[in-house]
Structure 1
Amino acid sequence: MPLEPKHTDKKLIFFKPDLESDIRIPYVSQGVSAGFPSPALDFLETSIDLNKELIENPTTTFYIKVEGHSMTDAGINDKDILIVDRSLEPADKEIAICFIDGEFTVKRLKLEKDCLYLMPENQKYQPIKVSEENNFIIWGIVTYVIKKI
């Protein structure tokens, strides 16, 4: 469903997961060593549906593509795909999709006694202090990042 932010020409597009798909990707359930090579076991291949594997709450989950570089130190880069769950409760240090003053952004939440900050994970960007004057909603909590390497 396309949503058009108020103060920009860009359209932000959310994608709902297709939990009825019949696409099965081959999946080797035996882990691969990230250290020293391990002896090869029988090549056990099954299949996996990433929609079903990565999504706990299908009716409240969506995908969104990242545009920008403010979260690179958190491992979130331009063109990555985020899996976002709207049913999760926001908490300090969670990464969230936020709607502030007509625009969407992805930032880490920093809760202080009487204040909320939207924290970038890149020193080139400044924190955003959220006040009562802002039109602000936490749209959802990021649960996974899908990236091309």
Structure 2
Amino acid sequence: MTAITIEQCYIPDLSTSAPCPLFLVSVCAGFPSPADDYLEGKLDLNEHLIQHEAATFFVKVRGDSMIGAGIHCGDLLIVDRVLEPTDNRVVVAVVQGELTLKRLCKQDGKLCLRPDNGNYPPIEITEATDFEVWGVVTHVIHPV
């Protein structure tokens, strides 16, 4: 059906804390500034990336149909089940019993799931389609 699938699904472990050093200065892409050596405190990514603890999960992506959205094979996504799946949001959905990752589009009273890669067609959602949105993607984590 699609060229992108959910490889693995995880729930966040919020019982641990792994605060990292936080520098409240801009990062220069050219020559380093000696003023950038000031540590401002600690940062816990759970506080910044997870809005609804009980309704958040992580998924690992396999495929390339969402590369236009900056989502690549092997990326880890943070998905929130509380957020409303509004038009143009990237969602994890179940279509005909299969998990998929696409952009939700509502147009002219019709609903479809659109890939962000022109090599793949959109998936039209009709009344006969077994369809459910599992959650809205809030963040993408991928290596550089």
| TM-score range relative to shorter protein | 0.7 to 0.9
CA contact (8 A) 1:19 1:52 kept: no
Highest RCO, 1 vs 2 (Cα 8 Å, sep ≥ 6): 2
Give the match for residue 26 of structure 1.
Answer: 21
Alignment of structure 1 residues 1-149 onto 2, 5 Å: 12-34=7-29, 37=31, 39-41=33-35, 42-149=37-144
Amino acid at match of 1:89: E
Q: Which runs of 5+ in 2 are unaligned?
A: none
The 1:126/1:14 distance shift into structure 2, 3 A limit, reads same
Q: Does the 8 A contact of 2:7 with 2:61 survive in 1? A: no
Are the equivalent residues in 2 in contact too, given 1:30–1:44 (CA < 8 A)? no
The alignment's TM-score, normalised by the length of structure 1, stands at 0.84
Secondary structure, counterpart of 2:129 in structure 1: coil
Question: Does the CA-based 8 Å contact 1:63-1:81 persist in structure 2?
Answer: yes
Q: Secondary structure at the match of 1:23?
A: coil
Equivalent pairs, count: 139
CA distance in 2, matches of 1:11, 1:27: 32
User: 2 CA distance for matches of 1:89 and 1:63?
Assistant: 17
Find the aligned partners of 2:65 and 2:88 in 1 and give their Cα distance: 15
* 1:78 positional shift: 0.2
Gaps of 5+ in 1: 1-9
TM-score by length of 2: 0.87
Report the Cα distance in structure 2 between the residues aligned to 1:33 and 1:117, rounded to whole angstroms. Answer: 42
| Aligned residue type for 2:69 | A
Q: CA deviation at 1:16?
A: 1.2
User: Does the Cα contact within 8 Å between 1:72 and 1:122 map onto a contact in 2?
Assistant: yes
RMSD of equivalent CA atoms:
1.9
CA displacement, residues 29-88 of structure 1 (integer Å, 9 cap, x when unaligned): 322135x55743242152222122211111111110011000001100000000000000
Q: Secondary structure at the match of 1:66?
A: strand
Q: Secondary structure at the match of 2:99?
A: strand
The question of whether the paired residues in 1 share the 8 Å contact of 2:21 and 2:39 is answered with no
Stretch deviating more after TM superposition (58-67 or 39-48): 39-48
The sequence identity of aligned pairs, in percent, is 40
